[in-house]
Amino acid sequence: MTRFPLRRLRLRPGDEHRDMVAVELEPLELGGQRYLPVPHEVEAALTVTQATTGLDLRLAFDVRLHGPCMRCLADAVVDVAVDAREYHAADATSDELRSEYVVDDQLELSAWGRDAVALALPDQILHAPDCAGLCPVCGKDLNLEPHTHDEQVPDPRWSALEELRDRL
């Protein structure tokens, strides 16, 4: 878990602190599948700006995720550019103005980085944009063996509904 000590920064309103930090990223669980960041520790640009009522935080880095394709389960790689921002109010009574990544004057970079990667992901992680997926009948990879099934035998459990449809 990577943390950045905010207490050591002595910023006045309008002051800005920029730093390159190494952020350790944990594997991401998405849809029951595991996606690994490569490398697991990325170099990130951290910017902390002191506003009059709190801190404006910005974290930017690039990461590559390796894991299964969401359609055919083949190996997939996706490059993700992260540019995340947070605001942390100094004396807010409402939790809405306080960042959940600031705990005891420590900025939780690993947790923030993981959440920012999850938000920056595309809708589907595919090994190729035209991935055909798996056959819903036999489970074969349609990218390797494109095929169709001629006649589908209806499930006998639906026969009562078929009879009802015929009567209507």
Distance of alpha carbon 164 from the chain centroid:
46
Q: Which segment of 30-34, 58-62, 99-103, 163-167 scores lowest on mean pLDDT? A: 163-167
pLDDT class for 159, splitting at 50, 70, 90? confident
Domain boundaries, the chain: 3-130, 132-168
The CA distance from 100 to 119, in Å, is 16
pLDDT in tens, 43-99: 999 999 998 888 999 999 999 999 999 999 999 999 999 999 999 988 766 677 888
Residue 132's pLDDT is 93
Angle 11-17-21 (CA atoms, 0-180°, nearest 5)?
Answer: 135
Single out the residue of 53, 118, 35, 50 nearest to residue 84, CA to CA.
118
Whole-model pTM: value is 0.80
Single out the residue of 76, 102, 73, 78 nearest to residue 90, CA to CA.
102
The CA distance from 155 to 128, in Å, is 33
Backbone angles phi, psi at 54, to 5 degrees: 170, -160
Q: What percent of the chain has pLDDT over 90?
A: 59
Residue 58's pLDDT is 96
